[in-house]
Structure 1
Amino acid sequence: MSPLTFDIHASKAAAPQSSAARCGTLSTSKPVHGGFTTKRVIETPGCFMYSSKGSVPHLTPDTMRLQDYGGVNVALEQILQSDQPASFSKWPSTPTSPKFTLADYLHLQDLVLFCDLRDFSFSESTSSISSDTATRTSKLNPNTDRHVLLSTPKGVRQLTLDDYLKVVRQFQPDIIAALADNIVDTKESPQKRVRKSIDRTLKWLDQILVERQGGDGRAADRLVEEEKKRRKELKEKRKTMTKEQQQLQHDRDAASDSVAIQPVSTEPWTDVAVFAHVQVSHLEDERIWSAKETAKRDGVDGFILNANVLLSTSNKEEALQQLENSLGYLPSQKPKLVYGIHAPEDVLKAVALGVDLFDTMYPFQLTEDGKASLFYFGESATPGAVAAASTLSSSSTNRWINLWDDEHGDKFVPILDGCECYACKGNRHTRAYINHLLKTHEMLATVLLMSHNMYQYSRFFAAVREAVKTGTIEQHANAFHKTFGVEPIRTGEKHAAQIIVEAALTKRNQRLETAEPAVVDAIGSGDYDAKKRADSEDDADRENKRTRKVQEKEALMEDVA
Structure 2
Amino acid sequence: MKIEAESKMSKARTCSLFNRKSPLALQYTKQGSIPHLIGKENKLLNVALEHFIDLVQPQAQRESPRKEWDRTFHEYLGYSNSTIVATNSDINRLAKDYVKGSSKGIGMSGNGNFKLAVTPKMAAKLLEMTKPDLAILGDPQQAIYSDVININKGVDQPLVLSANQERKAHKRWYDWLDEVAKNTTAPLYACVSGSTPFPIQESAKHIVATLDSRMLGYGIYLPSNCDILNEKVSKEQLDRMNTLWNDNLSSFIANVPAEKPRAVFGIANFKDIVRAVKAGVDIIDNSWLEPVTFAGNFYFILGYAVIASFKHQIDEASHKLPSDKRVKLLSNHAIVLDLNKEQSSTTVDGTSILPTTISVWQKDLEPISPNCQCWTCKRPHSRAYIHHLLCVNDMLAYITLMEHNIYQLENFLQEIRDSIEDGSFDSLANQYLE
The 2-side partners of 1:26 and 1:452 are apart by 25
Q: 1:479 to 1:447 in 2, by over 3 A?
A: same
Percent identical pairs in the alignment equals: 24
Paired position in structure 1 for 2:142: 184
Residues 1:442 and 2:394 are matched in the alignment: yes
Structure-2-length-normalised TM-score? 0.76
Using the TM superposition, give the Cα deviation of residue 394 of structure 1 relative to its aligned residue in structure 2, in angstroms: 5.7
Q: 1:309 to 1:375 in 2, by over 3 A?
A: closer
Paired position in structure 2 for 1:79: 52
Using the TM superposition, give the Cα deviation of residue 209 of structure 1 relative to its aligned residue in structure 2, in angstroms: 2.6
The 2-side partners of 1:149 and 1:197 are apart by 12
Paired position in structure 1 for 2:266: 340
Residues 1:57 and 2:35 are matched in the alignment: yes
Residues 1:21 and 2:16 are matched in the alignment: no
Q: 1:446 to 1:22 in 2, by over 3 A?
A: same
Q: 1:115 to 1:170 in 2, by over 3 A?
A: same
How many residues end up aligned between the 2 structures? 367
**Superposition pairs of residues 528-539 of structure 1, within 5 angstroms:** none
Unaligned segments of structure 1, at least 5 residues: 1-5, 28-40, 93-98, 123-130, 213-268, 483-561
Select which of 210, 216, 223 maps to 1:308: 223
The 1-side partners of 2:280 and 2:335 are apart by 34
Using the TM superposition, give the Cα deviation of residue 370 of structure 1 relative to its aligned residue in structure 2, in angstroms: 1.3
The 1-side partners of 2:78 and 2:250 are apart by 37
Using the TM superposition, give the Cα deviation of residue 325 of structure 1 relative to its aligned residue in structure 2, in angstroms: 1.8
The 1-side partners of 2:249 and 2:74 are apart by 32
Paired position in structure 1 for 2:129: 170
Residues 1:358 and 2:284 are matched in the alignment: yes
**Superposition pairs of residues 122-521 of structure 1, within 5 angstroms:** 122=92, 134-136=95-97, 138=98, 140-141=99-100, 143-154=101-112, 155-178=114-137, 180-185=138-143, 186=146, 187-212=159-184, 269=185, 272-282=186-196, 284-296=197-209, 297=211, 298-308=213-223, 314-378=240-304, 395-398=335-338, 405-425=358-378, 428-480=380-432
The 1-side partners of 2:33 and 2:262 are apart by 24
Using the TM superposition, give the Cα deviation of residue 197 of structure 1 relative to its aligned residue in structure 2, in angstroms: 1.3
Q: Write 1 or 2 for the structure with the bigger share of strand.
A: 2
Using the TM superposition, give the Cα deviation of residue 318 of structure 1 relative to its aligned residue in structure 2, in angstroms: 4.0
Structure-1-length-normalised TM-score? 0.60
Root-mean-square deviation (CA), in Å?
Answer: 3.1
Q: 1:293 to 1:117 in 2, by over 3 A?
A: same
Task: Tell whether the 8 Å contact from 1:371 to 1:403 is kept in structure 2 after alignment.
Answer: no
Letter in 1 for 2:72: T
Q: 1:394 to 1:211 in 2, by over 3 A?
A: closer
Task: Tell whether the 8 Å contact from 1:54 to 1:79 is kept in structure 2 after alignment.
Answer: no
Letter in 2 for 1:74: V
The 2-side partners of 1:315 and 1:148 are apart by 25
Letter in 2 for 1:135: K
CA deviation profile, 1:476-527 (whole Å, cap 9, x unmatched) = 2223457xxxxxxxxxxxxxxxxxxxxxxxxxxxxxxxxxxxxxxxxxxxxx
Paired position in structure 1 for 2:149: none
Paired position in structure 2 for 1:48: 26
Letter in 1 for 2:133: D
Letter in 2 for 1:191: A
Paired position in structure 2 for 1:230: none
The 2-side partners of 1:144 and 1:366 are apart by 33
Unaligned segments of structure 2, at least 5 residues: 147-158, 227-236, 311-331, 340-352
Using the TM superposition, give the Cα deviation of residue 90 of structure 1 relative to its aligned residue in structure 2, in angstroms: 4.9
The 1-side partners of 2:191 and 2:386 are apart by 41
The 2-side partners of 1:404 and 1:164 are apart by 50
The 2-side partners of 1:310 and 1:417 are apart by 31
The 2-side partners of 1:408 and 1:395 are apart by 13
Using the TM superposition, give the Cα deviation of residue 53 of structure 1 relative to its aligned residue in structure 2, in angstroms: 2.1
Task: Tell whether the 8 Å contact from 1:51 to 1:73 is kept in structure 2 after alignment.
Answer: yes
User: Based on CA coordinates, which of the two structures has the bigger radius of gyration?
Assistant: 1
The 2-side partners of 1:473 and 1:456 are apart by 18
Task: Look up the SS of the partner of 1:468 in the other structure.
Answer: helix
Task: Look up the SS of the partner of 2:302 in the other structure.
Answer: coil
Paired position in structure 1 for 2:323: none
Using the TM superposition, give the Cα deviation of residue 463 of structure 1 relative to its aligned residue in structure 2, in angstroms: 0.3
